[in-house]
Structure 1
Amino acid sequence: MTGRGPGIRVLLADDEPMIRAGVRAILAAAGGIEVVAEAEDGQQAVGLTLRHRPDVCLLDIRMPRLDGLRAAAELRRVSPGTAVVMLTTFSEDEYIASALESGAAGFVLKAGNPRELIAGVHAVADGGAYLSPAVARRVITRLGPGRLGRQDTARAQVRSLTARETQVLGLVGAGLSNAEIAQRLNVVEGTVKAYVSQILARLGFRNRVQAAILAYEAGLVAEG
C-alpha cells in the first residue's frame, strides 16, 4: 500500500483470546508490524477499522454477530484501503470461495507456520495476495472430480497471456508483492502494476487471489 509509514498497522479480529494472543506474539516478534486494535467479533472489527484505519485486517472466518465473510465484504465497502487476510482452518475450506467474493486478499492457516502469517501480512500490505501453500493445495484439491479438466481450462486461460504476463502471474501466485516482482524482473514497480491490471482484465478477475489460484491450477506455482 502506498502512503503508510515504515511499520504495518494491523487489526486482529478473533473471538478466541488465546488465538489473538498467539497471533499478536508472532507479529510482535517479527518486527515492523504493530497490532493497533483487537476485536472479538466482525461487527467490532468494522468499527475499529473505521477508527484506526489499519493497513491489514486479520479476520477469523467464524465469529459471532458478524462473521468474517460478511465483515470482509463490509470492510471492502467502507475501508477499501485496508487489505483483509482470513485466518482459517482446514475444516473451513468451503468458505474460501465465498471469502474471495468478499474481497479477501489472503488466507493463512491458524495452525500453519508462523512465517506464513508474517509473509501474508507483508504481501497484502504491499498490495499483493497471499495463499498459504497448504491452503492453495486444499482449495484446488477440494474442487473434487474434474480437476484435470480445470487444469486444462486454466492452462488455456494462461495461453491468452503474453510470456511476460504469464511470468508475472506465476509470481503473483507465489505471493510476491508488486515491489518484489519488480525486483525479481528488474523493472520498475509501475510496470508490474500495469501488467497485473492487464492480467486481471484479460482473465476477467476482480482480485489477485483469484489470479493466484489460477496460477496454481495452471501449474505456474510449485505446490509446497
Structure 2
Amino acid sequence: MTISVLLADDEGMIRAGVRAILATDPGIEVVAEAADGRAAVELARAHRPRVALLDIRMPRLDGLAAAAEIRRLVPGTAVAVLTTFGDDDHVARALGDGATGFLLKAGDPRELLTGVRAVADGGAYLSPRVARRVIELSGTRMARRPAARDRAAVLTDRERDVLALVGAGLSNAEIARRLHLVEGTVKGYLSSVFIRLGVRNRVQAAILAYEAGLVDPDD
C-alpha cells in the first residue's frame, strides 16, 4: 500500500527537495503540501495522510502545535518533524508532544525515507544525529552512561543487539536482515525491550541505546 504524505514547510526550496527525495521511493506519495502550520492541520483533516511531515518553525502555527492538533483531530496520521541543530529547545519539547519521527533537514536522504516508513508502520524514528544531540542536551554521555548501562544490563544478548540497531536507525526489516531473523521475531524482541527498559517507543529506546554506549555517536 502506498504511503500518503502531507509535507509542510514554509520554504518552497525545502519542500521541493524533500518532495524529490520522497519521489525516489515508489511506495511513497506526497498528496498535499502546506506552507504554514494551520494549513497543514486543515489539509491533514481533508486528506487523512498516513504521515504528516512537518517543519518545526512555521508561521501561523508552529510544527509542534500543528503536530498536536493533527494527532488530536486525525489520530490515524503519524507525525514526523523536520529539524535542524538550531532547534535545540524545540527538539526537547517535541519529545513529549506526540511526534514519533525526528529527522534532520541536512541528514542523509536515506534517513528521510526510513523515517517516513517507520512512522507509517506505527513505529518511531530518531535520526542518529538527532539522538546524539538530544543526549548532549540532557546531560553528558559519560555522566548518564552508568545508569543507562544498568538498565540495559537486564536485557538478553539478543535484545541488546536489537536495541543497538534501533539506536543506529535501522527499521525492523533491516534489523531482521542484519540478525538473520524474521521481522515478526524482531517485533517480539522490541516489545520485550520496551517493557524491560520501561520505555514507550522507539525514540526513547534509541536514546537509551546511545546513553548505554551501545551505539557509536560518531558513526
Shorter-normalised TM range? 0.7 to 0.9
What is the Cα deviation at residue 196 of structure 1? 1.8
1:23 maps to what in 2?
Answer: 18
Q: Give the stretch that moved more between structures: 174-183 or 10-19.
A: 174-183
CA offsets, 1:78-137, max 9 Å, x none?
333322221111110222122121122222221233232223223333344333332222
Contact 2:51–2:119 (8 Å) recurs in 1 = yes
Question: Does residue 197 of structure 1 match 2:191?
Answer: yes
2:32 maps to what in 1?
Answer: 37
Question: Does residue 180 of structure 1 match 2:174?
Answer: yes
Distance in 2 (CA, whole Å) between partners of 1:47 and 1:199 is 37
Q: 1:20 to 1:50 in 2, by over 3 A?
A: same
2:74 maps to what in 1?
Answer: 79
CA offsets, 1:156-192, max 9 Å, x none?
1111222222222112212222233233333333332
Counterpart pick for 2:7 among 3, 9, 12: 12
What is the Cα deviation at residue 203 of structure 1? 2.2
1:206 maps to what in 2?
Answer: 200
1:50-199 matches, within 5 Å, as 50-144=45-139, 146-199=140-193
Name the amino acid aligned to 2:183: E
Matched residue count:
218
> Once superposed, which parts of structure 1, at least 4 consecutive aligned residues long, lie more than 6 Å away?
none
CA offsets, 1:27-67, max 9 Å, x none?
22343321001122222222222222222211111122221
Identity percentage of aligned residues:
69
Q: Secondary structure at the match of 1:64?
A: coil
Gaps of 5+ in 1: none
Contact 1:72–1:99 (8 Å) recurs in 2 = no
**TM-score w.r.t. structure 2 length?**
0.88
Gaps of 5+ in 2: none
Distance in 1 (CA, whole Å) between partners of 2:155 and 2:197 is 9
Distance in 2 (CA, whole Å) between partners of 1:148 and 1:25 is 40
